[in-house]
Amino acid sequence: GGGAGAAGHWEGEPLQLDTHAPQDAAVLDIDPYSIEVLEDLESWHRRLLDGPPVVWIPKYGFWAIGQHDVVSKVFSNWKLFCSSRGVGIEDLTTSTPWRKPSIILEADPPEHTNAKKAMMRAMSKDTVAALEPGFQAYAEELITRLLAADSFDLAHDFAEDFPLKVFPDAIGMPAENRRNMLPYASLAFNAGGPENEIRLNALKQAVPVIPWAEQQTLRESLVGPGLGETLYVCADEGLITHDEARLLVRSLISAGVDTTISGLGATLRFLAENPDQWELLKADPSLARPAFEEAVRKASPVHAFFRTANEDTEIAGTKIREGDKIMCNLAAANRDPRKFENP
Ligand code: OVM
């Protein structure tokens, strides 16, 4: 985003890209979406946390932030830093996204308000409490089966298996083809990045299952009561339209398993790597929730979402122009020593 380069160019010199650094911007010449960075997230996050609070990433022409208080402030101000122009690199006002934007993730008030109300109703405290026995029963069944085996794969047989069973059950989805949710979710998350190999690969893997995913969002595809049907009842009652109910079911299918799988996997992995913590948890199972919360903090199943500046403004003293994209690095914020002691 942003305006044309102020730096003079003349006949014969290639036109400067929109990715020029704005005047006085602190520049961080790094590709946050490169394999090298993804394999060494800590150094990228350290550079965000140890340097100036707002840096310009020239490779793509967006801002990046990572300090907890700065990220928090941007996320709390939807009027200035909106979601409706997209939470990935692309500005939805000028690009064609891979699918119709989400009405809960890529939306702001007032459009966002009733969508959120419907979602809150579908996942009310009572509904969630009613889901618990089924989740519990399958957890017992799964653990019994895994313990009977000679060995099992923690990621595939546990972290993926559990959410892929209980969550689609909760939505009211049919039993078949649920693993299709994995490539679909992978695209939902990777679509927010640049057109690199990771994104192209996610697209390639997901393309065959996109029609399946769209089909699953229809009311007649649901096989029983559940979160999906509750969303359609919200439409029957006029809170949202039936097309919006369909898009909210799509949100459940898009975002319901990926982060849960990462969170469960990270929790068990960290416990395996820290046997003293495992002993503490075994001695006091009520520590399960804080253990999970801590794993999610440390692993950040979502690394970053973008916001778009809705008008000229500033962040921590840096001038931001209308249309500028801001990469808000949750994963860095979760490791900010200003916020967390010994993060
Ligand atoms: C959605 C949705 C919500 C959160 C994450 C996501 C990045 C999608 O509403 O579809 O994937």
DSSP characters over 133-160: HHHHHHHHHHHHHHHHSS---IIIIIII
Q: Quote the CA–CA distance of 118 and 159 in Å, as a whole number.
A: 28
| Closest protein CA for atom 7 of ligand 1 | 189
- DSSP run (H or E) holding 265: helix 258-273
By most ligand atoms within 8 Å of CB, the mutation choice from 84, 102, 216 for ligand 1 is: 102
Closest-CA residue to 192 (of 247, 243, 258, 240)? 258
Q: Quote the CA–CA distance of 47 and 36 in Å, as a whole number.
A: 14
Q: Which two tokens stand for residue 205?
A: 């893997």
| Average pLDDT score over residue span 16-38 | 85
Q: How far is the CA of 100 from the centre of ligand 1 (A)?
A: 12
| Closest protein CA for atom 5 of ligand 1 | 255
Q: Residue with structure tokens 């890209």?
A: 17
Q: Quote the CA–CA distance of 60 and 91 in Å, as a whole number.
A: 13
Closest atom of ligand 1 to 302 CA is 7
Averaged confidence pLDDT in the chain: 94
CB-based contacts of 19: which residues, under 8 Å, 6+ apart?
Answer: 58, 59, 60, 61
Q: How far is the CA of 98 from the centre of ligand 1 (A)?
A: 13
Pocket of ligand 1 (CB under 6 A): 102, 104-105, 188-189, 250-251, 254-255
Residue 233: per-residue pLDDT: 98
Closest atom of ligand 1 to 248 CA is 9
Q: How far is the CA of 217 from the centre of ligand 1 (A)?
A: 14
Tell me, yes or no, if the pTM score tops 0.85. Answer: yes
Q: ∠ CA 119-263-167 to the nearest 5 degrees?
A: 45
| Closest protein CA for atom 6 of ligand 1 | 255
pLDDT tens string 35-93: 999 999 999 999 999 999 999 999 999 999 999 999 999 999 999 999 999 999 999 99
Q: How far is the CA of 293 from the centre of ligand 1 (A)?
A: 20
| Average pLDDT score over residue span 233-237 | 98
What 3-state DSSP class applies to 337? coil
Res. 213 pLDDT band, cuts 50 70 90: very high
Give the least confident one: 12-26, 268-282, 288-302, 314-328: 12-26
pLDDT at position 24 over 90? no
pLDDT at position 13 over 90? no
